[in-house]
């Protein structure tokens, strides 16, 4: 297993467009997390899944954001009607159990023009 992968690595889009990111966790990891990180800040929690169930969502996750994890494997994060304030690095992480260390992917850098 090569770790957590994220695609695309970079995305440039125009304001108002929809974007979708994909995260492939380490196989057999039950928990999957999404974070957003802006320059000079630590990652901010967005949401997490236990298998296919989305168990927690941050208030940062407005109704323009939606995340899915069908079949408890890969996950997608969609942002509708992007705004310039959405420009950030979007990080995905997975862990086997609660309390275990989270393994992070390389991130998807989003730029909204």
By the rule CB under 8 A, 65 interacts with other proteins:
no
82 vs 102 by CB, closer to other proteins: 102
22 counts as binding other proteins under rule CB under 8 A: no
Q: Give how many residues touch other proteins by CB under 8 A.
A: 26
* CB burial readout 28-42, b (16+ within 10 A) else e: ebebbbbbbeeeeee
User: Which residues make Cβ contacts (< 8 Å) with residue 85, sequence separation at least 6?
Assistant: 112
Is the CB of 72 or the CB of 80 nearer to other proteins?
A: 72
Contact region with other proteins (CB under 8 A), list: 11-19, 21-29, 36-44, 77-85: 36-44
Strand partners, 44: 36
């Amino acid at each position: 297993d090569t770790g957590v992968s994220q695609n695309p690595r970079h995305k440039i889009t125009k304001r108002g467009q929809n974007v979708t990111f994909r995260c492939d966790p380490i196989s057999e990891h039950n928990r999957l997390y999404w974070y957003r990180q802006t320059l000079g800040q630590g990652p901010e929690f967005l949401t997490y899944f236990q298998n296919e169930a989305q168990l927690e969502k941050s208030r940062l996750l407005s109704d323009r954001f939606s995340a899915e994890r069908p079949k408890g494997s890969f996950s997608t994060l969609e942002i509708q009607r992007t705004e310039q304030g959405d420009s950030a690095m979007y990080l995905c992480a997975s862990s086997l159990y609660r309390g275990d260390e989270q393994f992070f992917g390389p991130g998807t850098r989003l730029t909204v023009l």
